[in-house]
Amino acid sequence: MGERRDREFTEFVLTRQSRLLGTAYLLCGDLHTAEDLVQTALTKLYVAWPRVQRSGSEDAYVRRILVNASIDSSRRAWRRERSTADLPEVAGPSDFPVEDRDELVAALALLAPKQRRIVVLRYWLGLPIEDVAADLQVTASTVKSQSAKALQNLRSHLSDSRYALLTEEC
């Protein structure tokens, strides 16, 4: 039983690890923190794996853990300290041009944390409004109104072509 569990969990991780890291990076804006978030999420997922797998909600469960871990991480005062001489590597889809990705990540960093989470879940991952609301424990109307505000903020920070890339392709 344990060997099968490990094999299935490993398969799940291997097929989703880059997407999880990309999502975590967009939630927090820092590669090292994103790696920590993914590690936390996978550890918690492994503990609950049999129950979560039976329900068939593995992706929703791990997304929820990422969002919660991101919120917890941002509340810690020592996490807000940033001292580094080198810029971190940039995570993201490889088919997204670097110049677009840099501008997008910079614009996302200017959004309020809740708006950033909504944009990442709704437009980057392409989740339906109901799933975003469930992941963030807010109402669907909150997702809609915060999405509109976030997109308006992004529109003012991104060039037209890069804004279109975010809202249409992601």
pLDDT of 35 over the 90 cut:
yes
Whole-number Å distance between alpha carbons of 167 and 170: 6
Which helix or strand (DSSP H or E) is residue 122 part of? none
Whole-number Å distance between alpha carbons of 20 and 52: 17
CB contact at 8 A, 98 and 149:
no
Query: Lowest mean pLDDT: which of 15-19, 47-51, 94-98, 105-109?
Result: 94-98
pLDDT digit string (tens) for 39-93? 999 999 999 999 999 988 899 999 999 998 888 876 765 545 555 666 555 444 4
Model-level pTM greater than 0.85? no
Identify which has the larger pLDDT, 103 or 98: 103
pLDDT of 7 over the 80 cut:
yes
pLDDT digit string (tens) for 161-170? 555 555 554 4
Domains defined for the chain, CATH in brackets: 1-80 (1.10.1740), 96-170 (1.10.10.10)
